[in-house]
Every structure is written in structure tokens, then in C-alpha cells.
Amino acid sequence: MEKWTLQGIGAALSIHIAQDAEKGQKIDDMYKIIVTGNGVPALPEIVRNHEGWINGQKEEIKNKKTARREYQRSIIMLIIGQIFTLLTASAAVILGLRK
């Protein structure tokens, strides 16, 4: 175990004070970036904006998929309608129902 002297304690204390001052400056800089924004939007605000944009893109993709399905259904229904019309007209001609 090391014996502590008054000079040793003073040296250790000045090292810790210097490190605290350095860390304090870093903490102040991080606080400016994260909380106050330092002239630009704060980090949480930027994250919220990005989150909103990402959620909007997801919603747009979902809407495009839904619109695509609806479009495909309407095309299929049109094709089925045309086939039904063709079959009905063919049956009318074959059975002589046309006057």
C-alpha cells in the first residue's frame, strides 16, 4: 500500500481537477448539441423529424401496395366482365336468341 503524502495528494488532486475540467468542457459541448442545439435544431428534434419522415415513407409504401392491389382487382374484374360478355354473346348467337 502506498503512503500518501501531502504533496502526493495535491498532485493527484490537481490531475483530477484537470480531468474534470476537460470532461466538463466535453459535457458542455454535448449538452449544446443534444439539448439546446447550439444554433441548429437539437438532436432529439432532428431524430423526431427523421422518424416522422421514415413513418411517412412507410405509410406511402403501404398506400402504394393497397392502390396496386385495387388496380389489379379492377383489371381482373374488367377481364372477367369481358369474358362473360363474350361468352353471353357467343351463346346468344349459337342458340339463335338474336333477332
Q: Over its length of 99 residues, how does the chain's per-residue pLDDT go in tens digits?
A: 456 666 677 777 777 777 777 777 777 877 777 777 777 788 788 888 899 999 999 999 999 999 999 999 999 999 999 999 999 988 888 888 755
How is residue 73 written as a grid cell?
Answer: 382487382
- Cβ-contact 22, 14 below 8 angstroms: no
Cβ count within 10 A of residue 45:
11
